[in-house]
Chains A and B, each alone.
Chain A
Amino acid sequence: MLTCSRVTRTFGAVEALRDVSLSVAEGERVALLGHNGAGKSTLMKTILALIPATSGEIRVAGAAPGDRAAREATAYLPENAAFHPALTGREQIALYLRLRGEPASKAGSLLERVGLEQAADRRIGTYSKGMRQRVGLAQALIGRPRLMVLDEPTSGLDPVSRREFYAILADLARDGTAILLSSHALTEVEARTDRIAILSKGRLVANDTLANLRREAGLPIHIQVAARPETVGDVARRLDGTRVNGVRVDLTCAHGDKLSRLGQIAGLGGMIEDVEVIPPSLEDLYTHFSRRADQ
């Protein structure tokens, strides 16, 4: 649905994007991560033809970005979505519907879908930040887009609306919509997207499923063993771990050693109470890939 090949964009001396190649297939949800100024918004804007790429090629639904066919297939939610303060939510969505050739009467159900039915007839100027963000989401849902480009879609949303938002995305992906979204909230994209792409200083430093990124990074796995006060010293010695308090011993091990380590722990039998395995979090992976790129 979307392919970017070797996209570069420079602003004077600033290289906002360098040789970025990324694609999103139908029904796939890709999370675009990266530090402030990494180039996430710039990449999205080049995909939407809001700014031209300096070099490289982009195809959206088989068309060049900015072509009518590409625009008809694509929905966009800009970062800090803004609307005319004098219009009501319903009027604003009605305008966007008509611009996409849809009947204005659908505005009510779209606003309901994002939980704005109560405020639909109030002016957007009176909306809170999260409510404005929801207007942005409502317009992005118009007319079953085949590609959605969402720039920090959950910024300003409360936890419940975030969950509802990802539920909507899951529905859309199931129906074949390709979704590219950027975020700084790593924990929420961890479970709710199919692939992770990490930009660092304009370069794509990672682009794979979470499981594959874990394997590739080879970050140590943490194992927390809970013992009893009278056995904790013995457990720490036998497992060669670090005693953190009166009952707990921490171990780290490589991905490949995980099972043998767990076997060892199981061998201790009644000396331990519980064991917990903690894989590297997306935050750890993110730090790893961003750092690696710096070297």
Chain B
Amino acid sequence: MTRVMAGAGSEIRIAMRNRWVAIAVAMMALFALVLSAAGSAPTGQIGADKLSVTVASLTSLAVYLVPLLALLMSFDAVAGEIERGTLPLILTYPVSRGEILAGKFLAHLAVLGIALLAGYGVAAVAAFAFDPGAAAGLPALVRLLLSSLLLGAAFLGAGYAVSAVSRRPGAAAGAAIGLWLVFVVLYDLGLLAAVVADGGGAFTTGVFPWLLLANPADAFRLYNLAASEAAGAAAGVAGAAQTIPPALALSLLLVWAAGGFALALLAFRRVRP
């Protein structure tokens, strides 16, 4: 454990020197501010407090930003060490590859956590400023924060795996962008097209909700929508959110986070320096 913490400390220091912490915090805070300034969520639920509405719009923001931040931080993790030539030496030390990876993981998760706290904190402060009853939305905000971390963890793991498989930072960056496009953008577009083509048939009611769970970004969206009173915009997702209990969506998110790390470790173990 001391070895994991040693690695994590060093990675956090590197993240600060490389301005990663500053960039991530600025990005999250800026987007949260813009969302708050824009006023209300697109749905503008009657009766919902201001914070719950903000959380709903933050959710649709986090689905894009959190995976992006996680992939940006992780794609260089293994490929960068190979490129710099720092990997062989560290592998001769009495540390396991799992410990090396866990150190990076903890550090990057901490950076992500700081950025999320800053962003969501800004949004919460803004909500409280306009609506004294915003406290009703606090549980939703906490749920959003925790599930965002899980979503980030899943994509950190995926980023490490891509990094280890690609071996070169350039290739890893390309693969990370591809991963983001597929999981965050194309997957949903594909499902949407299928739902439209199906026209409310067996696919839409039977298969579609489960396909949503097969993608961590959708599991995240589903969990926050299902758990929240301010239901989301997309009718399809809202419908699915009624079929799938929030606890299931959350446990799948956990599985994704753990699975991402396991995948990363598997890929890292195969790397020959």
A binds B: yes
Chain B positions within 8 Å of A85 at CB level: 84
Asked if A84 contacts B86 (CB within 8 A), the reply is: yes
Asked if A78 contacts B94 (CB within 8 A), the reply is: no
Asked if B88 contacts A139 (CB within 8 A), the reply is: no
Query: Pick the contact of A51 from B10, B84, B272 — CB < 8 Å?
Result: B272
CA gap between A139 and B92 in the complex, in Å: 12
The smallest C-beta distance from A46 to any residue of chain B, in angstroms, reads: 12
Asked if A50 contacts B3 (CB within 8 A), the reply is: no
Q: How large is the interface on B (under 10, 10 to 19, 20 to 34, 35 or more residues)?
A: 20 to 34
Asked if B272 contacts A81 (CB within 8 A), the reply is: no
Asked if A91 contacts B86 (CB within 8 A), the reply is: no
Chain B positions within 8 Å of A101 at CB level: 2-3, 94
Asked if B94 contacts A84 (CB within 8 A), the reply is: no
Chain B positions within 8 Å of A123 at CB level: 17
Check A87/B13 contact, CB under 8 A, given A71-B92, A72-B94, A101-B2: yes
Query: For chain A residues 69-123, which have a beta carbon within 8 Å of chain B?
Result: 71-72, 74, 76, 78, 80-87, 91, 95-96, 98-101, 123
Chain B positions within 8 Å of A68 at CB level: 94
Kindly list the 8 A-B residue pairs having the minimum CB-CB distance in the complex, ordered from nearest.
A98-B6, A82-B85, A86-B17, A71-B94, A76-B92, A95-B10, A72-B94, A48-B92
B91 within 8 A of A: yes
B7 within 8 A of A: yes
- SS of B interface (majority): helix
Query: Pick the contact of A86 from B3, B6, B18, B90 — CB < 8 Å?
Result: B18
Query: Pick the contact of A99 from B17, B85, B94, B272 — CB < 8 Å?
Result: B94
Chain A positions within 8 Å of B17 at CB level: 86-87, 123
Chain B positions within 8 Å of A50 at CB level: 88, 91-92, 272-273
CA gap between A87 and B13 in the complex, in Å: 8
CA gap between A96 and B6 in the complex, in Å: 9
Give per-residue flags for B4-31: 1 if the beta carbon is below 8 A from chain A beta carbons, else 0: 0011011001100110000000000000
CA gap between A51 and B89 in the complex, in Å: 13
CA gap between A98 and B1 in the complex, in Å: 11
Query: Pick the contact of B14 from A49, A78, A86 — CB < 8 Å?
Result: A86
Query: For chain B residues 21-53, which have a beta carbon within 8 Å of chain A?
Result: none
Asked if B91 contacts A99 (CB within 8 A), the reply is: no
CA gap between A98 and B2 in the complex, in Å: 7
Chain A positions within 8 Å of B273 at CB level: 50
